[in-house]
Structure 1
Amino acid sequence: MDGSDLRGSPQQGLITATFGFFIGFAGVVLYGPVAPQFGEAMGLSGFLLGLLVAAPQLSGSLLRIPFGAWTDDVGAKRPFIILLLLSIVGMTGLAVILLYLYPDGLAFRHFPLVFLFGSLSGCGIAVFSIGSAQTSYWYPTDKQGTALAIYAGLGNSSPGVATLIVPVVITAVGITQTYLLWLGLLVVGTGIFAYYTVDPYYFQLRKQGLNAEPAKEQAQAEGQELFPSGNAMESIRNAAKIRRVWALVAMFFVSFGGFLALSVWLPSYWIELHGLDIRSAGVVTAITFVLVAALIRVPGGWVSDTVGGEPTAIVSFGAIGCSSILLVITRDLWTAIAATFLLAVGMGVANAAVFQLVPKYVPEAVGGASGLVGGLGAFGGFVVPPLLGLFVDFQGVDGYATGFVIYLVLGVGGMILASRLYRNVQQQPGTPAIS
């Protein structure tokens, strides 16, 4: 068996992983653009509204851990497709609800069902850790920061695109038809991904019957540098034993979890506090936050490769803290827009910096570490919106602004963790990064 039996290339691996992530990750904003309508139809409090818009993040975050580690066993293609299919099931259930219950038949008693289908629809979000591991296995170590930033940056742009387009389509054809179109695009996109995606060389060789060591040797000859350490549970255990992995988890909770939370919460913020209509709120959320935070990851990855992930993260978390202070105190629309833009830049660059550090610290268990960091970190997208909703329950409309004190605390915490990592590296420059 020789290299002629192998298919694909790093470029193809990156393109297909990014495409699959793009179509699955749009589920982040499943309820965000229509949160006020759903909240009004079911009579939800601020806390329950925050819980509803965060529903996709529940499965989208926790499933990253086992599926990211499973990638170390079987490659990325099979786990990727399974999660996208589960997302299709959830979207189908939501479409049925909209067809038969929305708006007059939808009531508070339907909240558990709407939450369930939202959680299933969020399964596509969980492909993040799978695609991260796949990209890491395709690319050499010195190019991973840039490759992962391209993957995550372009893939992360899908909630922004959805937030921008969904309100416009809703205005034109209504909520039900909009979500039916979304379901159709998800089905077609899943089919395209399944047809074109290719696992990294090592996993192709294993599926062709080679044992681990011969497969590793041949894949190395083809240019692959990183390899899984063992089975899925072993990958998770190996990653969990490394103390710095948990620092990365906490940092990603702030940056990526924070990004997910605001992607679904900001439309309500612009509508309720600043009086924008649904279309304007979608445009402002997409342009000033979601797309900025997503696309800035690409140059953020380059900066992380150039100056180091730790110092890049320190500055980024500082930007998160400073912008949060502005959002707490301002009621002016344009000041809030500027602060949101700064917040997006801080979160996007911090996301790139954190994931640039994953293969550096955990080269022997990239899948498990990606699952832990991506899964538990992204869980912030589920935890934070209900907390923001509590501020609204206690303070009314002003709670949409004062709730950003949560991000001030998170930003300061991220700075402290990144600073500690940087000090350790500076004090022990000749020691391995995994300790």
Structure 2
Amino acid sequence: MTATTEPARKGNEWLQAWDPEDEKTWDSKLAWQTLWITTFTLTMCFVAWFLPSAIVPKLNAIGYSFTKDQLYWLAAIPGLSGGLMRLVWMVLPPIVGTRKMVAATTLLLFFPVLGWGVRSMSPTAPYWELLVLAFLAGIGGGAFSGFMPSTSYFFPRKKQGVALGLQAGIGNFGVSLVQLLTPWIIGLGMLWWLGQSQKMKVPGKPDREVWYQAASFVWLPFILIGAWIAWQYLKSVPIKANIRQQFDIFNNPDTWFMTLLYIMTFGTFSGLSAQFGLLMGNLYGAGNPAIVQGAGATAKILVQGYAVPDPAAFVFLGPLVGAGARVLFSPLTDRMGGAIWTFISGLGLIGSIIYTIGGLVPNTSSAATLQAGFNQFLWGMLAIFLFAGIGNASTFKQMPMIFERRQAGGVIGWTGAIAAFGPFLFGLGLTLMPATTFYWIGVVWAALCVVLTWWRYARPGAPKPS
């Protein structure tokens, strides 16, 4: 491999020379091996980060008695901690290297996941303790701002759209994975050996025996395997910069512009992923007192003929659509450029958010109107996830094209850190104001981002075509 200008790093984990832009010497096998290992571990990170969002909506059904606001906060806190931790993880790749960072981070996931399992087993934990576990789940969110820049070092610019799209998109599938499998896993009687069972009481349905802790415990072996593989097979690229040197990205206005755009895309994806189930339940399910009266098997459905939707049957669809869009559109961003797709993403978000607003105030006059409102809400939300996923792919194509290699890694980490506050901000917004008001703020934000994208990046003769 061609020698780089970076100083040599000691230890067999460090590559002594690395230039991915030189096709003759670029080690593509090592690059793709790194991508698949870090993608697997990043998937486990997203599982840990969004595990509370899968567990929280049913805590009251297994014996806890939290208020709506308390549940919103439990689902929001991982977003707060994930954003804060990303500010730390974003500076780690040039300091500690890929191998140590990925292996240690993956191993740390073991502790909050174990904790959620233990405290789900018996519904007696004080609220503050669950808040602590929700905060520690943010370790999985913080990882993104270290893993993604680190992986970008291994690929030439022309391949970074696909590489980063695959890693982020497949990693994002961890959200759908945990939300899809949780309802199925907890009902498996064969998992009795994982601890004592609980009685789940859902309005309008008979009580059923569940093993809620299994939703957490099942991931622990995969987390340990991921940490071991990372330690055994990953290498580190000799890119070196201290914290002060990395902060030179803040002198570039495009750092701030891309931050605004990534808040629109990933902030929306992560925020809605964390709050989708609670929002659905509070609008069209047991959380709406105009629809359901009482709790458990004796609950009364007030609108005759209306089938109360189980959020667990739908909540995984949004993250699935968003993650799938990120993977599928990444090759198109390499071919056509990222800016045009960010522009399309913004326009799509404006339209889909406005459409969804019509379903945020359920009309409970009849079962037919309730069902129609629910359908509008569900399809609108899925459209929002689709366009957010497209924008997630396109913005990550833009950043390596706008910035030089080390700065691009830093900007990817920084924008990811700020957008990771999405679950917290969405939880805060839905707690403090009506959902319709919060969604209209989203429309205004997307409109501003559309104007910015066209002016700065997408129009003919734009200052920074990308």
Q: 1:137 aligns with which of 148, 153, 176?
A: 153
Shift, 1:425, TM fit: 7.1
Do structure 1's residue 51 and structure 2's residue 73 form an aligned pair?
Answer: yes
Do structure 1's residue 76 and structure 2's residue 87 form an aligned pair?
Answer: no
What CA distance in whole angstroms lies between the structure 2 residues aligned with 1:185 and 1:52? 25
Do structure 1's residue 379 and structure 2's residue 389 form an aligned pair?
Answer: no
Larger Rg belongs to:
2
Shift, 1:2, TM fit: 9.5
Shift, 1:182, TM fit: 3.0
What CA distance in whole angstroms lies between the structure 1 residues aligned with 2:374 and 2:139? 35
Length-normalised TM-score, structure 1: 0.81
Do structure 1's residue 90 and structure 2's residue 112 form an aligned pair?
Answer: yes
SS at match of 1:293: helix
Q: Deviations over 1:185-236 (max 9, x none)?
A: 333333333333333xx33xxxxxxxxxxxxxxxxxxxxxxxx46223311x
Partner in structure 1 of residue 250 of structure 2:
240
Equivalence map 1:256-335=2 (5 Å)? 256-275=266-285, 280-287=310-317, 289-330=318-359, 331=362, 332-335=373-376
Shift, 1:329, TM fit: 0.7
Identity value in percent: 24
Partner in structure 1 of residue 241 of structure 2:
230
Q: Deviations over 1:367-405 (max 9, x none)?
A: 3212211101222222222211334xxxxxxx5566433
Partner in structure 2 of residue 148 of structure 1:
164
Shift, 1:79, TM fit: 1.8
Equivalence map 1:27-426=2 (5 Å)? 27-38=48-59, 43-99=65-121, 102-103=122-123, 105-106=124-125, 110-172=126-188, 173-199=210-236, 202-203=237-238, 228=239, 230-235=241-246, 237-275=247-285, 280-287=310-317, 289-330=318-359, 331=362, 332-363=373-404, 364-391=406-433, 399=434, 403-422=438-457, 426=461
Q: Which structure is higher in RCO with an 8 Å CA cutoff and minimum separation 6?
A: 1
What CA distance in whole angstroms lies between the structure 2 residues aligned with 1:427 and 1:181? 50
Q: CA RMSD in A?
A: 2.8
SS at match of 1:171: coil
Shift, 1:321, TM fit: 1.6
Shift, 1:38, TM fit: 3.0
- Given that 1:145 and 1:352 are in contact with CA atoms closer than 8 Å, whether structure 2 keeps it comes out as yes
Going from structure 1 to structure 2, the CA distance change for 1:16 and 1:275 (only over 3 Å counts) comes to: same
Larger CA deviation: 278-287 vs 264-273: 278-287
SS at match of 2:241: coil
Going from structure 1 to structure 2, the CA distance change for 1:91 and 1:427 (only over 3 Å counts) comes to: closer
- Given that 1:329 and 1:402 are in contact with CA atoms closer than 8 Å, whether structure 2 keeps it comes out as no
What CA distance in whole angstroms lies between the structure 1 residues aligned with 2:141 and 2:230? 15
- Given that 1:149 and 1:297 are in contact with CA atoms closer than 8 Å, whether structure 2 keeps it comes out as yes
What CA distance in whole angstroms lies between the structure 2 residues aligned with 1:180 and 1:55? 21
1:247 partner letter: F
Larger CA deviation: 312-321 vs 122-131: 122-131
- Given that 2:77 and 2:131 are in contact with CA atoms closer than 8 Å, whether structure 1 keeps it comes out as yes
Larger CA deviation: 63-72 vs 87-96: 87-96
Larger CA deviation: 14-23 vs 297-306: 297-306
Larger CA deviation: 82-91 vs 9-18: 82-91
Partner in structure 1 of residue 31 of structure 2:
10
- Given that 1:65 and 1:368 are in contact with CA atoms closer than 8 Å, whether structure 2 keeps it comes out as no
What CA distance in whole angstroms lies between the structure 1 residues aligned with 2:161 and 2:78? 27
What CA distance in whole angstroms lies between the structure 1 residues aligned with 2:463 and 2:409? 26
What CA distance in whole angstroms lies between the structure 2 residues aligned with 1:358 and 1:415? 17
- Given that 2:275 and 2:427 are in contact with CA atoms closer than 8 Å, whether structure 1 keeps it comes out as yes
Q: Deviations over 1:23-65 (max 9, x none)?
A: 1111232222232333675544444322210222223222223
Give 5+ residue unaligned stretches, structure 2: 4-11, 16-26, 189-209, 287-306, 363-372
What CA distance in whole angstroms lies between the structure 1 residues aligned with 2:309 and 2:245? 47
2:423 partner letter: G
Shift, 1:417, TM fit: 2.6
- Given that 2:324 and 2:389 are in contact with CA atoms closer than 8 Å, whether structure 1 keeps it comes out as yes
What CA distance in whole angstroms lies between the structure 2 residues aligned with 1:337 and 1:305? 31
SS at match of 1:63: helix
Going from structure 1 to structure 2, the CA distance change for 1:425 and 1:115 (only over 3 Å counts) comes to: farther
1:376 partner letter: I
1:239 partner letter: I
- Provide the aligned length of Structure 1 versus Structure 2: 390
Q: Deviations over 1:117-157 (max 9, x none)?
A: 12112202222122211221111111111111111111111
Deviating beyond 6 angstroms after TM superposition, the runs of 4 or more aligned structure 1 residues are 1-5, 276-279
What CA distance in whole angstroms lies between the structure 1 residues aligned with 2:381 and 2:95? 40
